[in-house]
Structure 1
């Protein structure tokens, strides 16, 4: 007679089978990993954690889905479904969730899980390279006037011009975690000056980020005043809600460029549109929006000085492999009862 597994991990969002096999190969004794692809939507692209719209389980599939959730003690991602089935309503035995995103603080709070002892580990740091590269795509496209080159090419027009350069420019990084640190490292390679806005400014943090100046949140506007490029990569919390508002835009250098790879709610979108319309902000590269998908009627779609990315700047072929690395490391610690050694643990009170 076989004994029941001590830990049951259920994969509730799409994942490539090769990564599931890596999980199973690395899992300690007593861990059962449930992966049922037919219970999950087909993916739209590599690294898709949501799947195609309109997916519906049959009655039999729904019964299997609920049965697996009911047995699970560990989840790969929060399950999605009807409003009353979100969070852990159908998974009362779960004590640890590994998410596929870094910004899950708001989600955890909306599920009412903040005061619980549930362990949530995130994908913090996994997206640093991809997001930093998107930030430099925007900066280089702006400083080299990529739209002009594209217009001239389409018109078969050979007309020389003088472009700009990033060397000597200043980038202000708001929220310098792992993503911000990667942006700072690349900025150094381009011989840019780096200003950072962090929770706890110190000489040590300044050295880590190679900053010319480092500020705390109360001095945000001072940091914005000297920046040619402002990159937002701060978590969305009550403290950062609409922190980039009309006053913040007024504090920025005229002609500055805004890049948002944080969350849309960090920016007052109406104030952004006004600043772009007036020319106060020369250009904006937006990977996120206050409402997603960005509504078809939003003026941002048709503004010539805006680049819209559909919340995809973080997605790269290596993403799931890196998150599985985190899961495998944490699984060993979790099973051994060494939860204090787990990495990327969400501070549910601070929401990041």
Structure 2
């Protein structure tokens, strides 16, 4: 088993070795070291890249440290019969906290007051409340589910959008594929947590922003390319959207000439909502469970569907 990770504690490496007792576990801190030992490797885990995957000649299972897999050559792995699992669930604490934080920042105008503070400007404005507002969550996975729970805790009505339309306890009304435009006009906040696939590319465009309630807020922590950024910018410029909080973008880093930088009603963060000092510990927990299942020949958790792309 090849474990590729730049920095990780010896304690967590020890836990991986204990779980994979029947394997020779090689820890590679960088790509150069990994490429030297990848031949013949059966299992690869951690921060792996396409180049490393394609350099292996005996791979049966790859487990990646991220939840998203849109940056991998899924067609290659499918053709090679490689099982791919991800670390879905590793973001279920920190990203919902980020979402709640920026929702409060937007509705209370804290970003505006912070700007005023830098100018020593004493200017009052009336903050709003989350209470009894309607929250629309696009994608009810681990992140979306916890976001819905936090919304309910704040007294919000929660609408959900998921491909299957399967109900969820913390969601008041669930919408399925093809019903997105029915949900959007009802939401005061629209939060995108969707992965990037062929079917979600630019899922949120001009028509969807037009369908949203006047004065709604938009939050994106999913993938930048799920949103048509030019349409988002237009919706913000026109006043259709009251504001936005964006952690992901169509191009990263966000280009210096993007109009988003200069919009007072936009909160920009550099793709950090998923970062946490507890990330590796949670990811190792998922990997260890899958190692145990792999050894026993049991179905793995978080197995990626090559048809769906997640």
Gaps of 5+ in 1: 1-8, 41-61
Q: Which residue of 2 aligns with 1:5?
A: none
Q: Which residue of 2 aligns with 1:88?
A: 53
1:326, CA displacement in angstroms?
Answer: 1.0
Contact 2:202 2:225 in 1 (8 A): yes
1:11, CA displacement in angstroms?
Answer: 1.9
Distance 1:336 1:115, change over 3 A: same
Secondary structure, counterpart of 2:291 in structure 1: helix
Secondary structure, counterpart of 1:32 in structure 2: coil
1:223 to 172, 177, 183: 183
1:78, CA displacement in angstroms?
Answer: 5.8
1:335, CA displacement in angstroms?
Answer: 1.8
Query: 1:308 and 1:13 mapped to 2: Cα distance?
Result: 28
1:298, CA displacement in angstroms?
Answer: 1.8
Report the more deviating stretch, 13-22 or 260-269.
Answer: 13-22
1:37-91: CA deviation from partner (whole Å, max 9, x where unpaired)? 3x45xxxxxxxxxxxxxxxxxxxxx4x54331113211113644xxxx7252211
Query: 1:199 and 1:11 mapped to 2: Cα distance?
Result: 34
Query: 1:68 and 1:184 mapped to 2: Cα distance?
Result: 44
**Alignment of 1:262 onto 2:222:** yes
2:36 to 67, 79, 82: 67
1:33 to 25, 30, 53: 25
Q: Which residue of 1 aligns with 2:6?
A: 14
Distance 1:271 1:311, change over 3 A: same
1:106, CA displacement in angstroms?
Answer: 5.0
Query: 1:155 and 1:297 mapped to 2: Cα distance?
Result: 24
Query: 2:144 and 2:204 mapped to 1: Cα distance?
Result: 17
TM-score normalised by the chain length of structure 1: 0.83
1:158, CA displacement in angstroms?
Answer: 4.9
1:318, CA displacement in angstroms?
Answer: 0.8
Contact 1:78 1:97 in 2 (8 A): no
Query: 1:116 and 1:89 mapped to 2: Cα distance?
Result: 10
Q: Which residue of 2 aligns with 1:343?
A: 301
1:212, CA displacement in angstroms?
Answer: 2.6
Query: 2:122 and 2:199 mapped to 1: Cα distance?
Result: 50
Distance 1:157 1:310, change over 3 A: closer
Secondary structure, counterpart of 2:230 in structure 1: helix
Query: 2:48 and 2:150 mapped to 1: Cα distance?
Result: 36
Q: How many residues align?
A: 309
CA RMSD of aligned residues (A): 1.8
Gaps of 5+ in 2: none
Contact 2:5 2:27 in 1 (8 A): no
1:281-327: CA deviation from partner (whole Å, max 9, x where unpaired)? 11111111111222222222222221111111011011111111111
1:218-261: CA deviation from partner (whole Å, max 9, x where unpaired)? 11011110100000011211111101000000000011111111
1:13, CA displacement in angstroms?
Answer: 2.9
Query: 2:186 and 2:291 mapped to 1: Cα distance?
Result: 45
Q: Which residue of 2 aligns with 1:102?
A: 67
TM-score normalised by the chain length of structure 2: 0.93
Secondary structure, counterpart of 1:173 in structure 2: strand
Query: 1:187 and 1:259 mapped to 2: Cα distance?
Result: 14
1:93, CA displacement in angstroms?
Answer: 1.1
1:160, CA displacement in angstroms?
Answer: 4.8
Secondary structure, counterpart of 1:196 in structure 2: strand
Q: Which residue of 2 aligns with 1:45?
A: none
